[in-house]
Each structure stands twice: as C-alpha cells, then as structure tokens.
Amino acid sequence: MDDNRTPKAQSSDQKKQNDQYGGRWLPEKSSSPARKKSRLPLLAQAGPVSLWMVLFVTLPLLFIIYVSFMTRGTFGGIEYRFSVGSYETIMDPMYFTVILKSFRVAAVTTGLCLLFGYPLAYYIARKPQETASRLIMLLMIPFWTNGMMRLNAWMLFFQVNGPVNYLLTHFGLTEKPVMFLYTDWLVNVGLFTNMLPFAVLPMYSSIEKLQKSLLEASFDLGAGPAKTFLKITLPLTFPGIFSAIILTFIPALGTYTVTDMLGGGKVLYIGNIIKNQFGAIRNWPLGAALSVLLLVITALLIFLYSRFAGLEDMEVV
Amino acid sequence: MKKAMALGLSLVMGLGMLAGTASAVSAEETELNIYMWGDYISDDLISGFEEANGCKVNLSFMSDNADAVNKLTAGAGSDYDLIMTCDAYMESLIAGGYLEELDISKVPNAEANLNKAYWTEDIHNYCVPYLMNYIYVVYNKETCPLEEITCYNDLIKPELAGQIGSVDGARNLFPIALVALGYDPNSREEAEIKEAYEWLTQYNANVLAYGSTEQNMVSGAVSVMFTYDGNTAWAMDQMGEDNPLVIAPFTEDPVQLGMDLYVMPKGAEHQELAYKFLDYICDPEVMAANLVEFPYSCPNDAAVEAASDEYKNSPAFDFDYKTNIFFQEDVGDALPIYDQYYQMLKVG
C-alpha cells in the first residue's frame, strides 16, 4: 500500500529518492505531445468533481451572497428587495464580541488537538505498518456513529447522576456531584473529540514521511533528542501541522451542534447565531450576511496561511 | 496505508453527507403527506389510519415552529397535505391566504368533540386542533433553593442562579416577562418588549440550559423548570410515585396555553385523505389511545372522557389555575421586534 518503507525506496537511485519525497506527483517536465492533446483523462478525472463543486458549492455560495443583500419578510423568508441592512446590522459590536468568542473557542480546540494530536500522530507513525493501520482505524471508528449520538454520550457520561459523578462521589473525591454539563469546558471536550482525527491524520502523514536517516544524522552530529525534535522533526512536519490547524480551526469556528447541545443553548457562538437566523429568528438575509462574514474571515486566514506557509506544502493525508 | 486512510476519510465525509440529504417523497393518490413535530403522534394511530384507508402516511418533522410557517408561506401545497402549526400564527396565515378553507362538514368528529373554547370562531374554518400545552413552572421541592414559587418574578431572584431549565423561543419567553411586568403578554409596543428583554436578561442569568428541561430535571441538573405539561408528565413518571415535583402554585400570573393544530396548505393535493385523517384523529377512542403515549392536554372533550384514569388523574395536570390562561396571539408586524430582542438576549 505504501512504498515509502519498502527496501527498494531506500536505494540511492535518484528517481526513487524522488518518489520518496512525493516527486511522482509533480507534473512531468517533458510530456509527450500525445499526452497534451488528450483532454479525455483530464475531463474524466476532474470533470465530475468540478461539476459537483460548481453545482453544490459555487452556485449556493453565490446565492448566499445574493440573499445577504435582500430584505427580511415580516414572516421570515426573503423579500427580493435590495438592501444593505443586514451588513449594517452586523457592524454592531455585539457580533464582534461573538466572533471573538468563537475565535477563542476554536483556538482552544485547535490548540488541544495539536497538543494531544501531535504526540499521538508521532506514536502511530513510529509503529510498524500493520499496527499503525489498526490504530488509525481505532481513531476513525467512533466516527461511524452519528455525531448526535456521540454528543449525547458525552452528556450522559457527565450528567449529574452519570458515571463520572458517581465515581467522584463514590470515592469521596467530591462531596457533591460536579456540574459538568453546559460549561465551556464540556463544549471544548466535545469539539476536541470531534476534531481530533482531522488533526491527527495530516500530522501522521507528515511524520510518517520523515526519514529516519535524518534523525540519525542529527544524533550523529551531536544533537540531543530535544534539539533534534526542534531543529529536524518539527520543521519538517510543519506542513502537516499547518493543515491540521486549518482542518480543525475552520470547522470549529462554524460549528453549532456541539455548542447547542453541550452548551445548553445559552452561550452562543457565531455558528449558532447563523443557524438561528434560519430557524427561530427567521432572518435569512442576516444569516446570509453573517455567513459571508465568516467566509471572508476564513478566506483571509487561508490567504495568510498561504503567504506564510505556502499552500503547496499543505499536507492532507 | 494512504489508500486506507483516504477511504476512511471519504467514508466519514460520505456518511456526513448522507445524514444531510432530505428524504424524497413521491406523491401518489394513496399517500398523505404530513409535516409536524417529531415524536408527537403515536405510531399505532398512524398505522391504524393506514390500514383503515389503504394508504401510506408520510410524516416529515420540523425542528421549530418557524419551519412550518416558512413552508406555508413559501407555498407548501405540492409537498404537504397537512401542516402542524400553532395558534399564534393563524391570523396572519389566514390573512395571507396561505391556507385552504376547510369544509368542516367533512370532519364530523371534530365538530362533535372539540371544545369550542379552544377551537374559536376566528380559526374554526381553517384548522383542526390536535393537542395543547400548558407552559408552566415546576420545581423540585427538595432541591429548589426557594420555599415556593408563586409568580414569574420569583424566577429572577438571585437564589435561583443556574437552577432553571427552560423552554426556548421568543414567543415562549417574552410573554412571561411581559406578564411579570404587568403588560399584555402579546404586546406589540417596542418599549414594552424592550423592558421585557431587560427582565429576561435577569432570567437568562438563572437559566442553566434551554431545551431538554425534563431530562435535566430528572438527572438533577436543575431544580426549577419552565416547561410543557407533557414534559412534566414524563419527568414525574420517570421520578416515580412520591416524586418531589411540584407545579408552582401561581396566585395571579396567568400561564400560557399553546395549541398545536393542523392546517391544510393552499393547493394541497390529497385533500380527501387529509379530511379523513383529521376526522380520524378526532375520534374519541383513537385520540384517547394516543394520549396514553403523549399525555398532553387535549381539546377533545370526548377523548379526555374516554382516556385512561392514569391520564385523567395525571399529577401533571393537577393544578388549580387552569382557566387563568393566555394564548399566544399573532403579533403581526411586531414579530421582527421580538426576534431582534430575542437575538440580543441570546447573544448576551
């Protein structure tokens, strides 16, 4: 499945070295004329995805932008009358506070995912192939169940008369049951467990590629484990870390189910507010405008990322 | 390895997408399409109707009252034959021409059994009421920090910080604040709604969580709940006989009585079957059986009469201010004002 570790990959042959660094994915410099003419493979490979993206991503996005400039009907729904009212509304500092709060929770989630995800990814990547596959499988298995079920499980686990509190009081660690539910803490736990695989997989892929010989060289030249990690391992696995950040931060920023359920609908983040505009509050244009705002922020982040890290280095499995 | 992982990832994503796809419903002559609250009608009732009429009933579920209104105002006749909504929206829905006027002679069971105090003249020709909910205050007499709760203003006392489990929604929360302040619960005055908003910020500080009130009461997370009678019945049942739950003995403040009713969207395609269904649910025996599973208040007097003793004697309905009620009325153009302040409340 993976030829990185087969003996032949370790030969000194230049072409195979290229393979090892993923060079086989780069376009070949001297492509034959016949290859240039044939568009069919290109269409077959990229066509369906492109069509899918245009139909289900680009067009809906354009529609969202369009709706954000419309007017709210008394009953909710959309009145097709041009207005910048929604954008005036989101200038309210109230929304700024919410976005800041959402950033904080997304940042904490991302931080936790890196903190716990990196060692885990490292551990898995250093295991023999077969064990590594099994460990990755273990990481994915919880995701075979419905997300709501997983959140409900957390709630049952931590509720006042749940198992955690039973153990705590049973062993006399606390006198009264601890109120875990509906705290920021539990929201963070929920987000963290939901996002962890998306942080571990790209980092795993990065670490797995890391050549052992480089580490050996570093040791041979007198660097200790800490120095080797900081000077060799970390910089070489940055692409994986960066994609882990993107893959966890952005979904965490827009999430609403986790915060709705584990936060008790009391503390609202930007995702909840957008969701409410399409449900209870019935202000679709405002919801669309907030989505556009979130989109702009996300795009800005990716832009900054690409400036600093170089998008071509992004490691997504 | 990579392939396996890619497969794993795509599986996860694929499953996520599947969860998001709506169920497609094909309309045939023998099908009846209903849009309503989930977990709110007995499966036996539905299968009984299907057998009696040789048809298939397709139920789709809403997650908010707004969903039903959105569907109705967008023109839902081609998709649904019956939609559940509540009394608060009836005036605008009728005025907007979104509903079919019903031929009540085709639902004789409704005419014979439904209490006209609830099925009032102004909505009589456009809907058939299903079940009702009192939204009242219940507390656990063993754990509640207050001796007694006798009015809405008790709910904003600082002793109750983090003790309340509450139902959500602008049109459920604002009326109690308006009542507490001595205003019309269906006020259309912005100044009054703003004051109610300020009252609610104090209430909000005492609320532990919105939604799942009955679970939170049973698990002991909250000691007070502002909730529906049906939820209370469930919680009392879960906590067993001699449960410590008390329906707050309100002295003066009225409580909200909300009514869920079926309407027929303009241009509904299976009207004959829809009439049969409406008549079927108004049959006293059928509704009485339904009440076993869904022990809410019921506007069908004959069904309540035929219902089990357990239902009739349910402690969830055992309070003495049943007639001191207010209804959620349609507030028309003031709705966006409510929504705006509700938003401010929730953003905090």
List CB contacts (< 8 A) between A137 and chain B.
8
Is residue B10 domain-resident?
no
Is any Cβ of chain A less than 8 angstroms from the Cβ of B162? yes
Residues A123 and A48 in one domain: no
3-class SS letters over chain B: CHHHHHHHHHHHHHHHHHHHCCCCCCCCCCEEEEEEECCCCCHHHHHHHHHHHCCEEEEEEECCHHHHHHHHHCCCCCCCCEEEEEHHHHHHHHHCCCECCCCHHHCHHHHHHECCCCCCCCCCCCEEEEEEEEEEEEEECCCCCCCCCCCHHHHHCHHHCCCEEECCCHHHHHHHHHHHCCCCCCCCCHHHHHHHHHHHHHHHHHEEEECCHHHHHHHCCCCEEEEEHHHHHHHHHHHCCCCCEEECCCCCCCEEEEEEEEECECCCCCHHHHHHHHHHHCCHHHHHHHHHHCCCECCEHHHHHHCCHHHHCCHHHCCCCCCCEECCCCCHHHHHHHHHHHHHHHHC
Is A279 close to B66, i.e. CB distance below 8 A? yes
Per-residue pLDDT of chain B (348 residues; tens, 9 = 90+): 445 544 444 444 444 444 433 333 344 458 999 999 988 999 999 999 999 999 999 999 987 787 888 889 888 888 999 999 988 889 889 988 999 999 999 999 999 999 998 899 999 999 999 999 899 999 999 999 999 999 999 999 999 999 999 998 888 999 999 999 999 999 999 999 999 999 999 999 999 999 889 999 999 999 999 999 989 998 998 998 889 999 999 999 999 999 999 999 999 999 999 999 999 999 999 999 999 888 899 999 999 999 999 888 888 888 888 889 998 888 878 888 998 899 889 887
Is residue A183 domain-resident?
yes
Question: Chain A closest CA to B284's CA: distance in Å?
Answer: 34
List CB contacts (< 8 A) between A97 and chain B.
347
CATH number at residue B185: 3.40.190.10
Is residue B1 domain-resident?
no
Is residue B9 domain-resident?
no
Which residue among A201, A265, A281 sits closest to B211, beta carbon to beta carbon?
A265
List CB contacts (< 8 A) between A80 and chain B.
none
Residues B251 and B342 in one domain: yes
Residues A239 and A137 in one domain: yes
Q: Which of residues 59 through 98 in chain B touch A, CB cutoff 8 A?
A: 63-64, 66-67, 69-70, 73-74, 92, 96
Residues A149 and A52 in one domain: no
* Backbone region of residue B227 per phi and psi (left: phi > 0; alpha: psi in -120 to 50; beta: other values): beta
Is residue A42 domain-resident?
yes
Residues A123 and A210 in one domain: yes
Residues A169 and A232 in one domain: yes
Residues present in chain A in total: 317
List CB contacts (< 8 A) between A208 and chain B.
1
Q: Which domain holds residue A52?
A: 35-66
**A78 membership: H or E segment, kind and range:** strand A78-79
Residues A111 and A217 in one domain: yes
Is residue A227 domain-resident?
yes
Residues B212 and B240 in one domain: yes
pLDDT grade, residue A16 (50/70/90)?
A: very low
Q: What is the ipTM of this complex?
A: 0.72
Interface contacts (A, B; CB < 8 Å): 126
Looking at A66, A85, A112, the residue that finishes a domain is: A66
Q: Write the pLDDT tens digit of every residue in A237-291.
A: 888 898 899 899 989 998 888 888 888 888 788 998 898 888 777 788 999 999 9
Is any Cβ of chain A less than 8 angstroms from the Cβ of B347? yes
- Overall average pLDDT of the A182-203 stretch: 91
Query: How confident is the model at residue B29, as a pLDDT?
Result: 57
Is residue B295 domain-resident?
yes
Is residue A79 domain-resident?
no
Residues A116 and A166 in one domain: yes
Query: How confident is the model at residue A315, as a pLDDT?
Result: 52
Residues A248 and A193 in one domain: yes
Residues B164 and B25 in one domain: no
Residues B242 and B339 in one domain: yes
Is residue A6 domain-resident?
no
Locus of tokens 């370790």: A10
Residues A99 and A60 in one domain: no
Query: How confident is the model at residue A26, as a pLDDT?
Result: 47
Q: Which residues pair with B129 in a beta bridge?
A: B261
| Residue among B299, B303, B298, B300 nearest B284 (CA) | B303
Residue A21 has pLDDT above 70, yes or no: no
Residues B272 and B321 in one domain: no
Query: How confident is the model at residue B330, as a pLDDT?
Result: 84
| Residue among B129, B158, B136, B134 nearest B146 (CA) | B158
**Strand B56-62, strand B82-86: pairing:** unpaired
Residues A58 and A137 in one domain: no
Which residue among B2, B63, B208 sits closest to A317, beta carbon to beta carbon?
B2
Which residue among A75, A146, A179 sits closest to B92, beta carbon to beta carbon?
A75
CATH number at residue A137: 1.10.3720.10
Is residue B174 domain-resident?
yes
Residues B50 and B95 in one domain: yes
Residues B270 and B300 in one domain: yes
Q: Which domain holds residue B286?
A: 15-132+259-312
Q: Write the pLDDT tens digit of every residue in A287-306.
A: 999 999 999 988 888 888 77
Q: Write the pLDDT tens digit of every residue in A61-103.
A: 999 999 999 998 776 678 888 988 889 988 888 888 888 889 9
Residues A50 and A101 in one domain: no
Q: Which of A10-14, A106-110, B108-112, B209-213 has the lowest mean pLDDT?
A: A10-14
Is B219 close to A161, i.e. CB distance below 8 A? yes
Q: Is A71 helix (H, G, I), strand (E, B) or coil?
A: strand
If you measure CA to CA, which chain B residue comes closest to A163?
B219
Is residue A74 domain-resident?
no
Residue B189's alpha-carbon distances to B174, B180, B203, B332, in angstroms, are 12, 16, 21, 12
Residues B336 and B240 in one domain: yes
Is B346 close to A94, i.e. CB distance below 8 A? no
Looking at A49, A66, A83, the residue that finishes a domain is: A66
**C-alpha torsion sign, points A195, A198, A201, A207:** negative
Q: Write the pLDDT tens digit of every residue in A209-236.
A: 888 888 888 888 888 888 888 888 888 8
pLDDT grade, residue A36 (50/70/90)?
A: low
Is residue B233 domain-resident?
yes
DSSP state of A222: T
Is any Cβ of chain A less than 8 angstroms from the Cβ of B343? yes
Total number of domains constituting chain A: 2
Is residue A14 domain-resident?
no
Total number of domains constituting chain B: 2
| Dist CA B60 CA B83 (whole Å) | 10
Residues B239 and B101 in one domain: no
Query: How confident is the model at residue B282, as a pLDDT?
Result: 96
Which residue among A97, A179, A282 sits closest to B66, beta carbon to beta carbon?
A282
Cβ neighbours around B57 below 10 Å, total: 19
List CB contacts (< 8 A) between A132 and chain B.
1
The amino acid present at B268, given as its one-letter code, is A
